[in-house]
Copies of this chain bind each other. A is one copy, B any other.
Amino acid sequence: MKSDKISEAVVRRLPVYLRFLNELHTREIATVSSQELGQKLDLNPAQIRKDLAYFGDFGRKGIGYDVPYLIEKIRHILKLDQPLNVALVGAGNLGHALSNYNAYLQDTMKITAIFDSYKPKVGQKINSLVVQPMEELGSTIREQGIRIAIITVPEFEAQNVADTLVESGIEAILNFAPVILKTPSNIRIHAADFTTDLQSLAYYLQDGKEESEHEKQ
């Protein structure tokens, strides 16, 4: 296949494939079929083959996919085969927590700068990074060539932070604040708001447990 415009759904599955492939690699499994992948990841094998075929012919008919080779390919597609510095804005509990995850981020992707507007926070050390004041956001982003930022500030600050990030040339934002950020269309934003996640989960609870009366359907 190759090319076409790739849908976001496809792109979002690639890291999931990658994660499992890495596990297979650790277990020294050399080859995997779309069938096996699908079973493990709860996906249709045809979908997996189609997803991968958007980017190239990575498999071998009758055999399956070579694990190390496919890892290399997906890492390249996701640009995880080059150094990628990430900025974290908001050094509260959540920011602190996320800064621990560098190890899960595929060696080349790394949180390399942390910012906070709250003066007493500035200068504190979090996992060997010194919290910087917001005033240094622009210059640090440019100096370190940071292209992705994570927003973990309170909701009322989030839009301001996003504006500053955009001005500083950031290309993509992962937003944990519970607001819809307005940014130019060339900036990629993912919402990572767990409160809306939890609230939508509540919908699926069985009816009539904590309740008492009528309530049919």
Contacts and interface: CB of A to CB of B under 8 A. Distances in A.
Interface of A: 3, 8, 11-12, 14-16, 18-20, 40-42, 77-80, 82-84, 86, 92-94, 96-98, 100-101, 104-106, 109, 145, 147-148, 150, 171-174, 176, 178, 180, 188, 190, 192, 194-206, 209-211, 217
Contact of A188 (B41, B174, B201): B201
A148 B205 contact: yes
A123 B133 CA distance: 36
* Top-8 shortest CB links A-B: A93-B97, A15-B199, A15-B196, A94-B97, A188-B204, A172-B201, A97-B97, A104-B195
Contacts of A12: 196, 200
Contacts of A100: 93-94
A32 to B, nearest CB: 15
Contact of A77 (B98, B105, B198, B203): B203
A211 B41 CA distance: 32
